[in-house]
Chain A
């Protein structure tokens, strides 16, 4: 913002003195040459679409997290030293707990504004991960990860994982009963890894769980290492956004070579700056009116009690759900070791899911053989197979996610726990296939509708009665701006199997051709210019014919 005031007098400085602002900006510019930067960035253009702001929401909530988190570090003690609580919350008075828990209670009850700050921090964290998730969905379903942005997808995905790690380490810091239960589950998962699990667990906790070291260690990760990594990757992410320029939806005048939208200065700087405060405001309102993580209800951590209805924050829910859905009796003893496949299968499945999602841009690029740059976004329906894959992945994730609340679903909808678990097992295993087929068919149907509208116009609602008694509805042709949106997409065809230079068809080639066929077998070709013209000619013809009949 300050830079925008710095440039404006730049051009007018020769004409007349612009007063203090001009003098100050000239002073700055002569010493920093900042005008070149402002000129470059001030003229950067961003296209306007609501879904392009989701990444900004994530960025802004991260800023809110940094600000509120800094406040919390002033008062939080990351120590597991035993103390007897002596604050103003009566039902915990005199209870033995760690200094971490006691200081969190002090922040909540005895430090002015502390509870609000805690709740701002926690709600902002939930919003941070949620907006990252929504942002990723937008990127995926519009194909914004295609060349040249594949690496930025991976960077964004790393940010998503870092955000979950930030969330989990923060969730565990107060050392309350709920987070302690969560930590115990993580400990169990680590110990379930064959050979190295127990060693890693003892290394992490500094001995047997829970030990006296874990809160301090998580604190270091939470406020030092992870935020630094998040900042680094955000910087990289944004550098790539600047380098690649922003994508845009297709429209008249929008090409692969340009970006149509508003410049950063003054429009986007004002919009984005204002939007920061809007996001901040929403978070503060949430924190003011809605409780989050009332640790005083949970009490201090003690390894013996485990509360019913213990769940992690929403973004770890899918992992918790995987553990709940895995059938029992999958562990056995072999070679004097316990092999806990009830833990290894969920770990493996989740790891595979995450890796596949992370490298999806490369998989799709290989399958389609598309090496062109893409700056125009796909409408989800026009990439039917990708949209269907995305829907399948989301169903898988959502099934696991819902499973993390299986007990609450059971009690609140008066169902049996086993029924909920079995239904969600079905959703997780069969659901993705069902979602895939339904989504793909919906996409193709929508494409057909688009083609129909382009070739035969939209239904105008005007019913005409012909002299013969027949009723027809008049179709009106759509205007060219709308038609552009409906026809401007690529038509992909399955790759042909071709022998390589030695005249052989490799296994890789065959696999690729098969995948490509699966990807593009069912497709609706966009109407060609010839078809559109022919249809118009046909319509004119019909028009003449009908008017002829009327006479």
Chain B
């Protein structure tokens, strides 16, 4: 059709649009609006790029959800007196809460503790995809931000400013009110660290992408992993708890040895 119509108009150059223009305009418009939407919603929308988000996994996730989560969170994620609504929490929140063993909750306590994970990775993923399929929310981070190869110095500075007041400057954790606490950050996987920042589980505030960009989060993960993996240059770190551990160690071990030696020195040889 295009071909037939093009030939007679080939000579006229001015005044008339090319029939391709409307097509390309529409294409461009679609691309722009779609791209803009994708850009705007990239922080909140489910990036259904992962090939695992098939209908089958979603259905498996739904079954798992109904069997393990619905008692508290409701059959339609609407929540109940015992648990919050999960509409819009996204796959990142599910991956963090279930993937670290915090959910399913064992007992009501000030805070859900880390415990052995109850599901396989596939099951966790299925649950995450199911929850994400109901309503869009923060999604599981992409691998490029989890490689822990960013700028450690910048990450450590961001950590000190944003995280150290609860998690301790060395990531050793700290106490909050009423039995709640900020857990130690050693041994946490990069994706769980990222998801925690993104979703703000339990008492943690949300550090969304406007607050800490994905690149910032990558740097923070880099700093944490650097600290975790580097050998302690000064000898045994004594739990990296700071002066309390040092003082306790000095009084018990240091003073203990010294007093034992004073007894030895003044012992009368028989």
Contact = CB atoms under 8 A, between A and B. Distances in A.
Interface of A: 48-54, 57, 90-95, 108-109, 115, 119, 123, 126-127, 130-131, 134, 177-178, 271, 274-275, 278-279, 282, 286-294, 297-299, 302, 304-315, 317, 404-408, 410-411, 414-419
A308 B157 contact: no
Nearest to A262: B266
A130 B254 contact: yes
Interface in B86-132: 110
Contact of B164 (A127, A286, A294, A305): A305
Given A50-B262, A275-B261, 9 more contacts: A50-B263, A53-B262, A90-B153, A91-B153, A95-B153, A127-B255, A130-B250, A308-B175, A406-B175
Given A131-B255, A407-B174, A275 B265 contact: yes
B261 A308 contact: no
A304 B242 CA distance: 20
A289 B251 contact: no
B226 A90 contact: yes
Interface string B251-269: 1011101110111011010
Contacts of A297: 169-170, 227, 240
B11 interface: no
Given A57-B262, A290-B236, A404 B169 contact: no
Interface stretch (B73-81, B138-146, B176-184, B194-202): B176-184
A92 B156 contact: yes
B34 interface: no
A235 B189 CA distance: 58
Nearest to A51: B262
A92 B226 CA distance: 11
B171 to A, nearest CB: 9
B153 A305 contact: no
Contacts of B182: 308
A108 B232 CA distance: 12
Nearest to B176: A417
27 contacts: A49-B266, A50-B262, A53-B266, A57-B258, A57-B262, A95-B156, A108-B233, A123-B250, A127-B255, A274-B265, A279-B261, A290-B236, A290-B238, A294-B233, A299-B160, A305-B161, A305-B169, A308-B164, A309-B173, A310-B242, A311-B242, A311-B244, A314-B246, A317-B247, A407-B175, A415-B179, A417-B178
B166 interface: yes
Q: Which of A49, A297, A418 has the most CB of B within 10 A?
A: A297
Contacts, number: 200
B50 to A, nearest CB: 32
B261 A282 contact: yes
Main secondary structure of the interface of A (DSSP, over half): helix
B192 interface: no
Interface in B190-244: 223, 226-227, 232-238, 240-244
B172 interface: yes
Nearest to B261: A278
Given A290-B235, A291-B232, A299 B175 contact: no
B237 A298 contact: no
Contacts of A298: 169-170
Contacts of A299: 156-157, 160, 169
Given A311-B242, A404-B244, A294 B237 contact: yes
Contacts of B47: none
Q: Which of B160, B182, B226, B240 has the most CB of A within 10 A?
A: B160
B168 to A, nearest CB: 5
A260 to B, nearest CB: 13
A131 B258 CA distance: 9
